[in-house]
Amino acid sequence: MKKIALASLVAAALTTACNQTKTTETAGTEAAGASADSTKGLPGLFASYWEQQSHLDPMSATAQGDHRFDDQLPNDGTQAYRDTLRSFYQDYLTRLEKFDRAGLGDNDKISYDIFKYEMEQRLAGLKLNTWMLPTNQFWGLPLTLGQYGSGEGNQPFKTVKDYDNWLGRVRGYTVWTDTAIANFRRGMKAGLVLPRTLVVKMIPQMRGQDIVVTDPTKSLYYGPISRLPKEFSAADKLRLTEAYKKAIMTELVPSYRKLGDFLEKEYLPQARTSSGISAVPGGAEIYKYYVANWTTTSKTPAELYQTGLSEVARIRGEMERVKNETGYKGDLKAFFEYLKTDKKFMPYKSPNEVLDAFRKIQTTIDPNLQKMFGRTPKTKFEIRETEKFREASASAEYNGGAPDGSRPGIFYVPIPDASKFNTTSGMESLFLHEAIPGHHYQTSLQQESTALPKFRRFAWYGAMGEGWALYCESLGKELGLYTDPYQYMGALGDEIHRAIRLVVDTGLHTRDMTREQAIDYMMANEAISRDGATAEIERYMAIPGQALSYKTGALKIQELRAKYSKQLGSKFSLSNFHDELLKDGVMPLAVLETKMDAWAAKQ
């Protein structure tokens, strides 16, 4: 999975729109929201939208390289802010519909369809009362602010003005916290509250030892001061150091402490014991929206549940076949344990040996990639070990490069202990998904396509984006991988994990499946620890529907490939299919299928 960063407060807190997952990966150094294009017509409409959106959602603007609003943090939890968004989206939808779609060129038709879908989804999201749940243990501003303010994220800390800008955002956070608490209280009165098990996880997050401090120099937010540029004057260094110490002790620490105390003393006693969103007032409608939003389809939870059961059964059958192929005599559960614990699957002595193993995967697939793709990214690519300060809680992830080429795309691998890094954990499938040709190809080609309007260059739809990355895992054998049955078993483990998600996410939110039942189901069908399964299930409880996007998108891409291969016969080119699939960026699956059908008709 790509690293999820909630820079987009609009999408996260109000509409949970699809593009919320990609803000960190699309960060660039160019001014993505620079002054609106004066061109009239549809391009002018899109440019005007992007400009206004950047004003309304300044943290996303920062992530995308537009640094005009780096000192701003809107209070997105207010009714006034939601009303502003509602008018904004409706205005642009109305203006869009004045254009005659039939008279547009092919690419403008795609832009029209994506934009219409996006405006309609955002408006639908604003009808829900999810603003009464302003943050959770998985994402929300209290977590995102740390990513920005540590000095290691999207917020720039290069000039004196950059440092002053951050202080403006800190002041905004104090106000945001008070509003968040008020919204939580509204939810308590309405019965729209988070599950108790999630709130229990949130409280220590608000009281982290680098968050609620007595010494400001020990704060996460002191990081930028620890790295003050040498060229700053002595006066600026002194002023900023004192200002940051004051901001930490008088604004950040009190805000986090206030939120933590509220969660423990007021909210936790009223948190719900149920696991699924269907237990709250309006929960069925909320989940219906989330399912449509994350899958970008009209599939029902019942359909997705049945698809999940079918896929779990199919993949288990393949796992049984591979187990038997290795000569292992025990059952599948015992085989899982064998793969996780046998020392022969842990051959590495140093982090560099692990990184070299991933580099060997890249070397292996390179000749075959040239047969599968006619268009490849210009953005450079690197494999790096995840930084020590965050490796304990990090997953392997891809961080997109800068659109202007100033920063490479990076595949990060956490290696807390190289001697415990397991070769059967799906290293080959992980590389195909997170790195090449998965997220690196898709993200880079999209950002490099300057012909696309900015709302498409920096868009994110998980159904297509994560669907593509999961589809890339299925290319392993064609790319020269999965020759070792144990590595192939790891790939099957990755795939069944996504199939299980279809069962447990819909089960939790529409079938009264409990947290404990979901954890047990996951552990019965894949090689995962109880702690790992618990973290996964609680993620699905916190962000209903998001986990449905992966398998839904991958199955659609596989379905399209099979359809065109049969339809075109000898005229079908896998390389051309892949190039066409990626060249216009991510989009809702229905828009993708319409586009691909038109492509196939021209072959």
* Farthest-apart Cα atoms in the chain, separation: 72
Can you state the angle between helices 283-295 and 301-326, rounded to 10 degrees? 60
- The residue count for the chain: 603
Asked whether the bond before 347 is cis by omega within 30 degrees of 0, the reply is no
Model pTM greater than 0.85? yes
Q: Identify the residue with better confidence: 424 or 120.
A: 120
Q: Are 286 and 128 in contact (CB under 8 A)?
A: yes
34/190: higher pLDDT: 190
The DSSP call for residue 330 is S
Predicted pLDDT at 19: 38
pLDDT at residue 366 in the model: 96
Distance CA 400, CA 398 (A): 6
* 37-55 mean pLDDT: 86
* Cα–Cα distance measured from residue 409 to residue 237, given in angstroms and rounded to the nearest whole number: 33
> Is the predicted pLDDT of residue 390 greater than 80, yes or no?
no
- The arithmetic mean of pLDDT across residues 485-513, rounded, is 96
| Span 126-144, average pLDDT | 94
Among 2-6, 14-18, 385-389, 452-456, top mean pLDDT goes to 452-456
Residue 392: its pLDDT value, please? 66
pLDDT at 21 over 70: no
Instruction: Quick: pLDDT tens for 394-405.
Output: 678 898 887 777
Residue 38 has pLDDT above 60, yes or no: no
Q: By CB neighbour count within 10 A (0-12 exposed, 13-18 middle, 19+ buried), where does 420 fall?
A: exposed
Give 301-326 pLDDT, tens digit per residue. 999 999 999 999 999 999 999 999 99
343 CB-near residues (< 8 Å, 6+ apart)? none
265: DSSP letter: I
Judge whether residue 290 has pLDDT over 90.
Answer: yes
Residue 529's pLDDT band, with cuts at 50, 70 and 90, is confident
Please report, as a single letter, which amino acid is at residue 476. G
Domain limits, the chain: 134-191+196-271
Give the 3-state secondary structure of residue 12: helix
Q: For residue 124, what pLDDT band results from cuts at 50, 70 and 90?
A: very high
pLDDT recorded at residue 76: 95
User: In the structure encoding, which two tokens stand for residue 332, read together?
Assistant: 């599948």
Q: What pLDDT is attached to residue 511?
A: 97
Q: Strand 381-385 vs strand 397-399: parallel, antiparallel, or unpaired? A: unpaired
Mean pLDDT of 83-103: 97
- As a whole number, mean pLDDT of residues 228-254 equals 98
* 579: its two tokens: 């190039």
What stretch of H or E contains 90? helix 79-96
125 pLDDT above the threshold of 50: yes
Cα distance between residue 90 and residue 76, in whole Å: 18
Q: Which has more confidence, 432 or 458?
A: 432
Report the mean per-residue pLDDT for the chain. 91
566 in Cβ contact with 480 (< 8 Å) = no
Per-residue pLDDT, averaged over 280-292, amounts to 97
Over 90: is that where the pLDDT of 31 sits?
A: no
**Terminal-to-terminal C-alpha distance of the chain:** 34
Q: pLDDT at position 37, please?
A: 39
The answer to whether residue 210 scores a pLDDT higher than 50 is yes
pLDDT, one tens digit per residue, over 332-382 is: 999 999 998 999 999 999 999 999 999 999 999 999 999 999 999 999 999
149 alpha-carbon distance from chain centroid: 20
Q: What is the pLDDT, as a whole number, of residue 386?
A: 87
Spatial strand order in the sheet of 381-385: 381-385, 409-413, 397-399
For the chain, the C-alpha Rg in angstroms (whole number) is 24
How far is it, in rounded angstroms, from Cα 6 to Cα 24?
Answer: 8
Identify each DSSP E strand in 277-426 by its residue range: 381-385, 397-399, 409-413
